[in-house]
Amino acid sequence: MSTSQASATPEHNTRKFRVSFIHAPDPIYADTQNYGAKFMPVWAYTLASHIPDDGNYELSLFDCRFQDKSIITEADAFLFSGINQDCGNMEQVRSELKARYPNARMLIGGPICWSFDQAKSMEQLDNFDHVFIGDAEDEIAGLLDSLRTGQPLDRVIRSKDRFAIGKAKPFFRPMLDTTVDRYYGAVLEVSRGCPFLCEFCDIRILKDNNRPHNKSIDLIISELDHLSRLGVKQVLLACDNFIGEPRWAEELIDRILEWQERTGFRPSLYTWLTINFYKYDSLMKKMRQAGFDMLFIGIESFSKNSLLETAKVQNSTSDMIEVVRHIQSYGFIIVAGLIFGFDSDDETCFQNTLDGLKDSALLSGDPSLLTALPGTPLYRRMKLSNRLRDVRFGLGGYKYQTNIKYLLGGKEIVQGYKTFVNGFTDGAYQYSRLKAYFDLLDQGNFVAMDGKGFGNVWLFLSMILKNRAALWQMTQRLARFMSKPANLYYAFKGLGLVLSRPRIKGGFGYFQFWFFAWTNAVLKYQNLSDKDFDIEGVDAEFDLKNIIPADYASSADEDIPQQKIKAQLRSTIAQLESVVSERSA
C-alpha cells in the first residue's frame, strides 16, 4: 500500500524520494496485550503530515500486524518507531529490509530511543543508520531533505526543542483515509504533559512536560469530524492527562457537544486522566453526554502509604474508595491502573487490593508489578541503591519480568500475586463487583449516554476473525472460562442482574465489559505458575536504610521547577523513612 503526496515533481528531480513508515511491534505483545484489538500507529500519520507537500516525496505505511514484511516495497528511507519491548522485532524487520535494499537508509525514533538513551543502552540500536531522540515534528522535513540531497547527517540526532503541540497539523489524509478502517477506531492525540509528580512516571521528566500542552480545539473538532465522516465510531483521545488543565478540557467538551448537535455524529470516546476528576461534577456530566463511557485512571494502590511513597499526592488526599465510587456513579467505567511492589507494600497488599476493588465497585483491575523506567526518579533511586536488574524486556517468555529488586521478597510477591489471581477470577467475587457497580448507578448521578460505548464487542469480534492468533486466543479464553462450571453460573447470574435493571440505559454494555474483563483475567491468569515470573527481591544482607540512597536528593536534576522536585522528594523520603523506622523496630 502506497500513498503519494500530490504535487508536481520539480523538473530538476526525476524521481520522488520514497519514505516508508514501518510499524513493527513485538508480535506476541501485539496479539496478546489488547486481546486482538489493533490501534493505529499515530506516530506515522503525525510525522507524515509534517513532511513537505512539495512533490519531492512519496510516502508509504506498512503495518506488520496486517502485512507480511515480505511485501514491503523498496524505499530510500525506512522509518521505524516503537517502545522497548519492540526492539527485537524491529531489528529483525530492519535486517531483512537492509538485505533486500542495501542502499536504503534505516532510521529509528520514538519512545524506545529516548528510553535507551536514558538507560545508557543505545548499543541495542547500533544497526540503524540513524537514531533520532526527541520530538520529530519540527525536524522531519530537514532530516529527510538531507537524506534526499546527499547532505551529511549525524548518526545520533537530538531534537533541538520540544514540539509545540499547538502547531500540530491534521493527520496526513491520503494515508489516514486508506487505512483507518482496519484499526479499532482511531487514536487522536489531544494534549501532552501532566502537572503531577509520580516517582515512577517518565511523563514529568521530559523537558517542559510537567505541565499541560494542549492541541488546538478547532483542530481536534476538525479531526473528529473527518474521522466520523470516514465511518469511525470509536475514538481514543490520547494524552498524558486529559484534565491536566480542567478549563481547557471543559471547553473542548463543550465544543464536542456543539459539534455533535450540529452534525448528528456520536462517536464513543475514551481517554486517560487523573483521579482529581472527581472534583468536577459539571465536567463529568458533560463528558457522559459527549459519549465517554470508559476512562483510564492510575489508581496504583489502595494503600495511602504506597501512594505517598511515589508522591502520587492527587490520590492520597482523599478517600480513594469513595472517590472512585463517585466518578463511576455517573456511569463511567474506570479502567484502573494498579501496581504491586512499592517499598511500602507488605504481604497484605494483595488482599487489600481485592477488598479495594470490591468496595469501590471497579469492574476492571489488572495489576502490574512496579518497574523502574529509565530517566525517572525511581530509576535513579534503584540505581543508587544497587537494586536495578539487567533484564531485556519482552524476551524469555515471562508474563512478568521487572528490572528492580523488591523490598518485599520475590517469593512473597509471586505467592501473593497468585493468591490475588485466585481471588480475582473467582465467580462469586466477580459477581459481587458487578452488583456493587449497578447499585452505584441507582444513586441518582447516572447520566445515560447515546451510542454503544467504546467497548464495541462486534467490532472487536470482527477484528479477531481476521487474525488467526487472536482467534486462537479467543478459543482459549472461552475454553478456560467454561472449564469451571461455577463461572457459567455467575455469568448468567450477572446477565439476570442486568435484565432486572431495565431503567439503566446501556446496562448490557456494562455486562459486556465486565464479562470481557473477567474472561481476560481467566485467559491471562489460569495456570499461572512460578515459571511465569522473572522477578527478584533484595539480598538478605541488604541494609534497609539504603532504600533512601545518600545521593537520592542531591542527584535530582529533572527539567522541572525546583519546588516540584522538592515536593516529590519530601513525600517519597518521608514515607520511606517511615518504612525504615517501622521495619527496623
**Helix (H), strand (E) at residue 219:** helix 217-229
3-state secondary structure of 108: strand
Mean pLDDT for 233-238 is: 95
Q: What is the pLDDT of residue 457?
A: 64
- The answer, yes or no, to whether residue 11 has pLDDT greater than 50, is no
DSSP state letters, 237-267: EE-S-TTSSHHHHHHHHHHHHHHHHHH----
Q: What is the pLDDT of residue 474?
A: 76
Sign of CA dihedral 506, 354, 236, 191: positive
Backbone angles phi, psi at 133, to 5 degrees: -115, 120
CATH 3.20.20.150 for the 184-525 domain, yes or no: no
DSSP state letters, 464-491: HTT-HHHHHHHHHHHHHHHTSHHHHHHH
pLDDT tens, residue by residue, 416-462: 999 999 999 999 999 999 999 999 999 999 999 877 776 666 666 66
- The whole-angstrom separation of Cα 499 and Cα 187 is 33
CB 191 within 8 A of CB 135: no
Confidence band (pLDDT; 50, 70, 90) for 226?
Answer: very high
Backbone angles phi, psi at 204, to 5 degrees: -70, -20
Bridge partners of residue 237, in order along the sequence: 188, 271
| Of the candidate ranges 213-227, 388-402, 483-497, the one whose mean pLDDT is the lowest | 388-402
Q: Output the CA–CA distances (angstroms, integers) from residue 76 to 14, 67, 85, 87, 580, in the order listed.
A: 14, 20, 26, 22, 58
pTM over 0.85: yes
- The whole-angstrom separation of Cα 579 and Cα 354 is 23
With CA atoms as reference, report the closest residue to 134 among 113, 155, 120. Answer: 113
pLDDT tens, residue by residue, 25-55: 988 766 556 666 789 999 999 999 999 999 9
Task: Indicate where the chain has its CATH 3.40.50.280 domain(s).
Answer: 2-160
Q: What is the pLDDT of residue 471?
A: 73
pLDDT tens, residue by residue, 245-262: 999 999 999 999 999 999
- The answer, yes or no, to whether residue 9 has pLDDT greater than 60, is no
Q: The C-alpha cell of 240 is what?
A: 498524558
pLDDT tens, residue by residue, 498-517: 999 999 998 999 999 999 89
- The whole-angstrom separation of Cα 362 and Cα 357 is 5
Mean pLDDT for 134-148 is: 95
Task: Indicate where the chain has its CATH 3.80.30.20 domain(s).
Answer: 184-525
Selected residue with higher pLDDT from 15 and 330? 330
- The answer, yes or no, to whether residue 377 has pLDDT greater than 90, is yes
Q: What is the pLDDT of residue 31?
A: 59
- The answer, yes or no, to whether residue 4 has pLDDT greater than 80, is no
Cβ-in-10-Å burial (0-12, 13-18, 19+) of 502 comes to exposed
pLDDT tens, residue by residue, 80-110: 999 988 999 999 999 999 999 999 999 999 9
Mean pLDDT for 210-223 is: 96
| Of the candidate ranges 9-13, 186-190, 550-554, the one whose mean pLDDT is the lowest | 9-13
- The answer, yes or no, to whether residue 544 has pLDDT greater than 60, is yes
Q: The C-alpha cell of 113 is what?
A: 530511543
Q: What is the pLDDT of residue 456?
A: 67
Mean pLDDT of the chain: 91
- The answer, yes or no, to whether residue 413 has pLDDT greater than 50, is yes
pLDDT tens, residue by residue, 275-308: 999 999 999 999 999 999 999 999 999 999 999 9
Query: From edge to edge, which strands make up the β-sheet containing 156-158?
Result: 2-4, 57-63, 17-23, 77-81, 105-109, 130-133, 156-158
Count of beta carbons in the 10 Å neighbourhood of residue 545: 13
Q: What is the pLDDT of residue 32?
A: 59
Confidence band (pLDDT; 50, 70, 90) for 6?
Answer: very low
Q: What is the pLDDT of residue 393?
A: 55
CB 275 within 8 A of CB 308: no
Q: Cell numbers 467505567 correspond to what residue?
A: 333
Give me the percent of the chain exceeding a pLDDT of 70: 92
pLDDT tens, residue by residue, 47-76: 999 999 999 999 999 999 889 999 999 999
Class of domain 2-160: alpha beta
